[in-house]
Chains A and B, each alone.
Chain A
């Protein structure tokens, strides 16, 4: 995936990236981070799976499973979505643009 979201948001202690499939990313508008966006994770059928509020720096994170996911953000700066394909466990980073 493009972009290199800040991984400063520490994973919980004991997170085993050889087993867990972690989707991380940053919400951006015109290249600038958007804090406080509502980011939801939709599964391969478009079904809602989870929702988080992005940090002040726009960072978000989900513990998912291998597969194809859609990330969708709602914010005061606009809405947007991105598809992420996680082929296996590990950290999968995405830049999620809103407009």
Chain B
């Protein structure tokens, strides 16, 4: 994987709107953002009820994913270009899910909606309808998805990367600061996890930092990329952003996204939780 295999620039995207075999897909945390204006020709996927099961807490299963893509008019051989708001958090989550179900050709628009808007590029509110396709998904690739038992067993064994903000990591707050804080789970982080907030991997305009900067970031944090890594956040979307960085951009071979993340882990009875800003590993390394 190289950067060109994972990302497209806004310039490239603008030149390729309407190109046969390419479909732009918007996935936003704010599921109404698309309706207020979207990249011309882009279709919308709602992460809350199209990428996740509407009843159980889980991502959609293979059949649901097939139905979703078929309905959206996305065929197996299409290049899917995902983009969204909030620095592509939910577009990255969708990217991870497309990879999980074996979609061959999927990329992220670097900078997402933010860069597109700041550049003053066209958004429109035209209704987009695409003829239905017949999509066949592969069995889920569980080498990129971590479940809770594996996470508990990974304490002190695998790299655990908590990509939430420092205040969420330390236990000061339970959710990013644009969301209410009152929730049932306990605050803190998984013991032995290092804290490398997702935001350190992105520029202010939402684009990913350069490969060199990214390598330096995780090297300084003490992450050994030759070892297995599990990334987590609160609900699995910010950790998808870091999963894209570690596995897709930096090419670490064994990286899983723990989509249960803190809302699951922090609610489990009996698992260890650590409070405070630094793990032992970090304080040994970080005090230069």
Contact = CB atoms under 8 A, between A and B. Distances in A.
Interface string B127-142: 0000000000000000
Contact of B182 (A14, A41, A51, A62): A14
Interface residues of B, number: 27
A53 B30 contact: yes
B177 A62 contact: yes
A56 B275 CA distance: 39
Given A20-B180, A62-B178, A63-B175, A51 B86 contact: yes
B197 A48 contact: yes
A12 B192 CA distance: 35
B199 A15 contact: no
Contact of A63 (B114, B120, B177): B177
Nearest to B172: A65
Looking at chain A's contact residues, is the secondary structure mostly helix, strand, loop, or mixed? strand
B1 interface: no
Best-buried of A36, A47, A51 by chain B (most CB within 10 Å): A51
B219 to A, nearest CB: 19
A63 B30 contact: no
B205 A47 contact: no
B166 interface: yes
A58 to B, nearest CB: 15
A50 B168 CA distance: 11
Given A48-B197, A50-B165, A53-B85, A76 B120 contact: yes
Contact of B114 (A12, A38, A43, A61): A38
Looking at chain B's contact residues, is the secondary structure mostly helix, strand, loop, or mixed? loop
Contacts of A15: 180
A36 to B, nearest CB: 7
Contacts of A29: none
Contact of B178 (A20, A63, A75, A76): A63
A38 B178 contact: no
B149 to A, nearest CB: 31
Given A74-B205, A76-B117, A49 B165 contact: yes
Contact of A76 (B118, B172, B200): B118
Given A23-B177, A47-B166, A65-B167, 11 more contacts: A14-B182, A15-B180, A16-B182, A36-B117, A41-B178, A49-B165, A50-B178, A50-B179, A62-B177, A65-B173, A74-B114
Interface of B: 30, 33, 85-87, 114, 117-118, 120, 165-167, 172-173, 175-182, 197, 199-200, 204-205
The 3 A-B residue pairs whose C-beta atoms are closest, nearest first, are: A48-B199, A50-B177, A62-B177
6 contacts: A47-B165, A47-B166, A47-B199, A63-B177, A65-B167, A74-B204
